[in-house]
Structure 1
Amino acid sequence: MNLSLQDPFAVAKEFPESLTQTLSAGGHSVVIQFNSRGDYLASGLTDGSIIIYDISSNAGVIAHLKKDRHSRPVTSISWSSCGRYILSTSQDWTCKLWDLSKVNSERDDFAASSAVIRNVKFDGPIWSAVLHPRNHFIFVASLFEDHPVHVDAEDEHNVVITRLQTQPREIIQGEDNSESATPEPESKKKKVEKHVTLATTFTPNLGLYILTGTSKGWLNIISSKTLETVHSIKFTNSNIKNLVISPNGRKLAINSSDRIIRQIILPDFLNRRNDEDLNGEEKVEEEWDEFEVEHKYQDLINRLQWNSVVFNHNAEFLVASTFGQSSQDLYVWETSMGSLVKILEGSNEELIDVKWNYSKCMIGSTGLDSGYVYLWSIQFPQKWSALAPDFVEIEENIEYDEKEDEFDIIDDQVLVQKRLEEEEDLVVDILTMEKYDARGFDIEESFIIPVKYD
């Protein structure tokens, strides 16, 4: 059904309330990711393959990327902004870039034929990797007990891998200043080496900066041009497990192992939509001080750990999955006041990865034991006036005033001629595409996976 006929404005709430669907095809799902349009859902399995579901038409599995798959479980999935490419990481120490236009849908098993266009191998397992918002051949990855890396795979035969700095900027500057002074004791050097980056992500739009979270609670901001740390802030003393930036680039959620989710207000210059340089070093120093913790989310009664967090499209809501067998729900907070508004129930197991489908207003999560993919969404009520503009729904009887000539017998030819005259004055534009959909999202061209439904 057309999106406009579902009348999304009839529902005041902008977050899902009920579990509507469970996906279990193909195998045990570990991680999931929606594309930018929300039409497809990619699911990484424990056998190293990737399944893609068609969400918009409910067609089920439309592709199973199992040729040239990973040899171990998938750890993360990242879609390109155009929707054509997928970056997957695994415990087999490799990152694979898939071209979905090469999916061979003519085979019965929907296997991909040479869909891997880049295969980068590292010296250890990979926590996660994120594609650049403008260039799908560039990505950053956090490695197990190693420095994070910036990868430029534009040239297939000359992949450039640059190791990023893990230590905070203050420590790096201290090391540079102490080269000519008295050497530091060995005990202090060992403490510096214990910093490990666990999470990495790009800023939205242009991807001008890279945000990394360390095992000591530091947030490092690295320039995408120079690949050097420009600023460091310490928010906690424990591991930073997740870094999630809202799609509008205004807020950052830091999920750490101290059972607290911190909501940070980001400076506006991190989310610039043009590539103009900032004027003056003094202005840069002033803007770096704008980071502040707006809210802290935690469960003071049960002391729950959080597995994964995600914002909705405008950062009005934040959802998190809980760690441990005692809790099997998703917590939804309202970000302006920091209050808990909903606990999504329905699953009978611990939920791991959680993602928000912005255009479809849908939340997806994976089960730890079964590997099922659970989808929460809004149930839109039927609205007959969307199908017939002249139809009016009433909840109770009302008195109707009849017009004088409403039920008069009119010649059919006269009536037809009157309608034709009215239609001649109406200009219908069938060439110009709509800029916004029924919910106000920008309508952008997105890649459509070739599928043979026969």
Structure 2
Amino acid sequence: MNLELRSPFDLDYPSKYESTVRDGPIRCISFNKRGTMLAGGCSDGYCIVWDFQSMSIVRKVKCHDGHITSVSWSRNGYCVLSCGDDDKCVYWDLKKGTRKVIQFNCPVLTAQMHPKNNSMFVASLYQESPVIVELGDVIRHFPLPTNSDISSETNAGGDKLNSSNKTVICRYDKKGKRILTGTSQGYLNIIGLDSLEIINTTRINNSAIKEIIVSRNGEDVIVQTSDKTIRLYWLDDEKLRNSELLFAETVNKNNWNQCCFSQVGEYIIGGSAKLASHEIYIWDIRTTRLVQTLQGPYETLIDLAQHPVQPVIVSLDEQGAVHTWTTRHKEDWLNWDPGFTEIHDNIVYEEKEDEFDVLSDEEDNNSQNNSIQTNNCDDEEIDVITVDKPENSDSSDEDEEFLDLYHSEIEEVDVYTVENIRNDGPVYKSNIYKK
């Protein structure tokens, strides 16, 4: 879709179903930074990359021996990170055609690439402490602190921290300077990457934290828990602000399988976990009012992703089908050509009096010369390569030009185990922001 032709009065959130693609038992999806590519992880261990414009498969590779639990893109859009219940994280370099397999001792719940560093990621492990992994000539890993490490301390509210807390989700903030971790007992920890120490601990509730989403501006945070409520917090330099907004389905009291921000950060999107139902709810953050409900096929929604630029949502059902939702947009050609006139009815063409008159050879040659001169004045070189910068983007969203996936191949596979990965202590700033 040409963004310049969109009317400024169009909705900033989807309002209708558009299409469905079935390419395998997809279980998780993720967009790259610009939204040109969509990656998906399957229950049979395959990782698929689509060209989102045409939804055609450009890469499909067997990455895992079991179920893929999450996929994540690097900042430059060249690499895909996948993790699964086969105790592996696979770093898939689409540009070089190589893969690096990091073998752990337990299943990997989630993994996310660093928002600035293309060779660093954080992973949450089943019944183990989460780790940061640096991918370079020497693979290094750094375990993160958990509530179990400070079980003798209390939080700001005076509650005793449960030593049985296990970290189940890890997410970077916008700049990658901090990591937000959620535990099975409802605690949200903010960890600084400079010292690898817990800066602040907040008790969200008594339920397990299922998802943490940071907005594009880095100031808002969505926390999804198992108590059927989505909470919105404001994130400052050291902690979450106490002021919170609650979003829930008030009629059927359904739980949620996934949530996210809209592309402009003004709406919250929640995917219902209701069985045999594919429902997506959209709330306005400013008014906390439910503005849209999308209903799809009679299949349970298991995951969804918001396009980073366009008002488009992609959702998954339990059969692995990929559904696309978009707005009822109307292209406004006046934004491109002020002299454009929209015709609502057929117009009967009235020929000119001398339009079909027979001209002499001399008059015919003069007419053709005038026409050629006019066309030469109107001819301009059209740039079809440069990608326009979206209006709601900032300098941190500028990426390198994406590669051509159609002609690249996977050549090498490097396997690393936890025992062979060096643990050199804290992650220093020179390593964090190295690109």
Fold conserved (TM > 0.5)?
yes
The residue number in structure 1 matching 2:212 is 243
- Give runs of aligned pairs for residues 68-107 of structure 1, distance below 5 A: 69-103=63-97
The residue number in structure 2 matching 1:48 is 45
Partner of residue 372 from structure 1, selected from 302, 314, 321: 321
User: How many angstroms does 1:51 deviate by?
Assistant: 0.9
**Counterpart-to-counterpart distance in 2, 1:293 and 1:89:** 34
In the alignment, residue 312 of structure 1 is paired with which amino acid?
Answer: S
Superposition TM-score, scaled by structure 2 size: 0.79
User: How many angstroms does 1:8 deviate by?
Assistant: 1.3
The residue number in structure 1 matching 2:130 is 148
Asked which structure has the greater RCO (Cα within 8 Å, sep 6+), the reply is: 2
**Counterpart-to-counterpart distance in 1, 2:21 and 2:334:** 33
Partner of residue 29 from structure 2, selected from 29, 32, 43: 32
User: How many angstroms does 1:102 deviate by?
Assistant: 3.9
Would the aligned equivalents of 1:435 and 1:443 in 2 still touch at CA under 8 Å?
no
Partner of residue 198 from structure 1, selected from 168, 175, 186: 168
Would the aligned equivalents of 1:262 and 1:293 in 2 still touch at CA under 8 Å?
no
Superposition TM-score, scaled by structure 1 size: 0.76
Aligned-residue Cα RMSD (Å) equals 3.4
- Give runs of aligned pairs for residues 136-285 of structure 1, distance below 5 A: 136-155=118-137, 158-167=138-147, 171=151, 173=153, 192-204=162-174, 206-267=175-236, 269=237
Residue deviations 1:74-101 (CA, integer Å, cap 9, x gap): 0000101110011100000110100012
1:359 aligns with 2:324: no
Would the aligned equivalents of 2:21 and 2:321 in 1 still touch at CA under 8 Å?
yes
Would the aligned equivalents of 2:277 and 2:298 in 1 still touch at CA under 8 Å?
no
User: Could you list the runs of 5+ residues in structure 2 that have no partner in the other structure?
Assistant: 347-365, 409-435
Per the alignment, in what secondary structure is the counterpart of residue 101 of structure 1? coil
Would the aligned equivalents of 2:82 and 2:90 in 1 still touch at CA under 8 Å?
yes
Cα 1:18–1:152 change in 2 (3 A) is same
In the alignment, residue 63 of structure 1 is paired with which amino acid?
Answer: R
User: Could you list the runs of 5+ residues in structure 1 that have no partner in the other structure?
Assistant: 104-114, 176-187, 270-286, 398-410
**Counterpart-to-counterpart distance in 1, 2:32 and 2:172:** 16
**Counterpart-to-counterpart distance in 1, 2:376 and 2:37:** 45
The residue number in structure 2 matching 1:302 is 252
Residue deviations 1:124-148 (CA, integer Å, cap 9, x gap): 1111011111112211111112211
Cα 1:420–1:136 change in 2 (3 A) is closer
**Counterpart-to-counterpart distance in 1, 2:280 and 2:371:** 58
**Counterpart-to-counterpart distance in 1, 2:296 and 2:154:** 52
Q: How many residues align?
A: 386
Q: Which moved more, 1:358-367 or 1:69-78?
A: 358-367
**Counterpart-to-counterpart distance in 2, 1:329 and 1:55:** 22
User: How many angstroms does 1:379 deviate by?
Assistant: 3.9
**Counterpart-to-counterpart distance in 2, 1:388 and 1:258:** 52
User: Once the two structures are aligned, what percentage of the paired residues are identical?
Assistant: 29
Cα 1:172–1:209 change in 2 (3 A) is farther
User: How many angstroms does 1:21 deviate by?
Assistant: 1.3
Would the aligned equivalents of 2:215 and 2:221 in 1 still touch at CA under 8 Å?
yes
User: How many angstroms does 1:418 deviate by?
Assistant: 10
Would the aligned equivalents of 2:277 and 2:296 in 1 still touch at CA under 8 Å?
no
User: How many angstroms does 1:291 deviate by?
Assistant: 1.1
1:330 aligns with 2:280: yes
User: How many angstroms does 1:215 deviate by?
Assistant: 1.1
User: How many angstroms does 1:161 deviate by?
Assistant: 2.0
Cα 1:293–1:374 change in 2 (3 A) is farther
Per the alignment, in what secondary structure is the counterpart of residue 296 of structure 1? strand
